[in-house]
Amino acid sequence: MQLGVTFPQTEIGADPGAIREYVQAAEGVGYKHLIAFDHVLGADITHRPGWQKYTSQHLFHEIFVLYGYLAAFSQLELVPAVLVLPQRQTALVAKQAAEIALLTAGKTRLGVGVGWNEVEFEALGVDFHQRGRLIDEQIEVLRLLWSQESVTYKGRFHTISQAGLNPLPPRHNIPIWIGGKSDIALRRVARLGDGWFPFPHKPNAEMQETLERLRNYTREAGRDPHAIGIEPRLEAAQYSFDELIEQVEGWQKLGATHITINTMNMGLKSPAEHIKTIMRFKETLDKG
């Protein structure tokens, strides 16, 4: 099971040197990949009472620009998890992801999801209520653009007339992993995904049932369930290190292929404290 870290988007700050130090520290102690969350805009909550999620006060680095920077000095696998795909132009995402794949010698996966922030969709000019139907077609178009030098396509949301990317990504493919916990999301993973990101969840009997449901959907789609990767995220803010180690063991038993630790929301005050925490977790895991 491959171990990675969640880039502390909202807490890392804006110092490129601190970002570099964090990533190099993660790589130096043996983490193999890095995931980062995606948001383009945050809502100003002055006139939005009760807003519970990310706001305009939360710092988010733009994910493809960030990964272009990291690829210059890191060998970590770089994984957007998840990119809010429906609010972005598909051909542009195909181009950006292909470039990250090129810069990392293929060490990337593209994690995608439908998103939840209607404020972002409005500002980016996309119908929030069409996002589920849109993402299915986007995944199809991404794979065409990555695999063919010239694409002609006519769908509900996309028209491409004899056009293509250059350069194409290594192996003419980028694995697409899908986030989400609804039954619709599970069926989308079964039909279209190379892997699934379960949102924070314990490796318990309920998750075992969910995974079996995913595997059944995958068989119904005519695909091999064992070809679908699974990557849960461990929330370090919610558990002791001993409990986190127990969760790692539990996920291994459930067949997870990757796992990531998230140190945001722990009350850590600096990038140095995030570094110290991921190093301590890795040392604890290695001893166990």
Q: What is the pLDDT of residues 201-231, one digit of tens each?
A: 889 999 999 999 999 999 999 999 999 999 9
State residue 52's pLDDT score: 80
User: Other C-beta atoms within 10 Å of 236: how many?
Assistant: 23
Token reading at 71: 């690829």
State residue 195's pLDDT score: 98
Answer left, alpha or beta for residue 105, where phi above 0 means left and psi between -120 and 50 means alpha: left
Distance CA 22, CA 12 (A): 9
pTM confidence score: 0.96
Question: Which percentage of the chain shows pLDDT scores above 70?
Answer: 99
User: Other C-beta atoms within 10 Å of 252: how many?
Assistant: 13
State residue 97's pLDDT score: 98
Q: In the chain, what are the domain boundaries?
A: 2-287
Distance CA 210, CA 220 (A): 15
* 108: DSSP letter: B
State residue 80's pLDDT score: 97
Helix (H) or strand (E) holding 6: strand 2-6
- At residue 146 the predicted structure's pLDDT band, cuts being 50, 70 and 90, is very high
Q: Between vectors from CA 252 to CA 70 and to CA 78, what angle results, nearest 5°? A: 10
In CATH, what number does 2-287 get? Answer: 3.20.20.30
Q: What is the pLDDT of residues 102-144, one digit of tens each?
A: 999 999 999 999 999 999 999 999 999 999 999 999 999 999 9
Pair type for strands 159-163 and 151-154: antiparallel
- CB of 97 within 8 A of CB of 174? yes
Given a cut of 80, whether residue 200 has pLDDT beyond it is no
State residue 47's pLDDT score: 86
Q: What is the pLDDT of residues 255-287, one digit of tens each?
A: 999 999 999 999 999 999 999 999 999 999 998
Q: What is the DSSP annotation of 27-92?
A: HHTT--EEEE---S--B-GGG-TT--S-BTTS----HHHHHHHHTTT--SEEEES-EEGGGS-HHH
Q: What is the mean pLDDT of the chain?
A: 96
Token reading at 40: 């383009």
Token reading at 50: 């009760």
Distance CA 119, CA 240 (A): 35
- Residue 165 CB contacts under 8 Å (≥ 6 apart), including other chains: 94, 95, 98, 145, 146
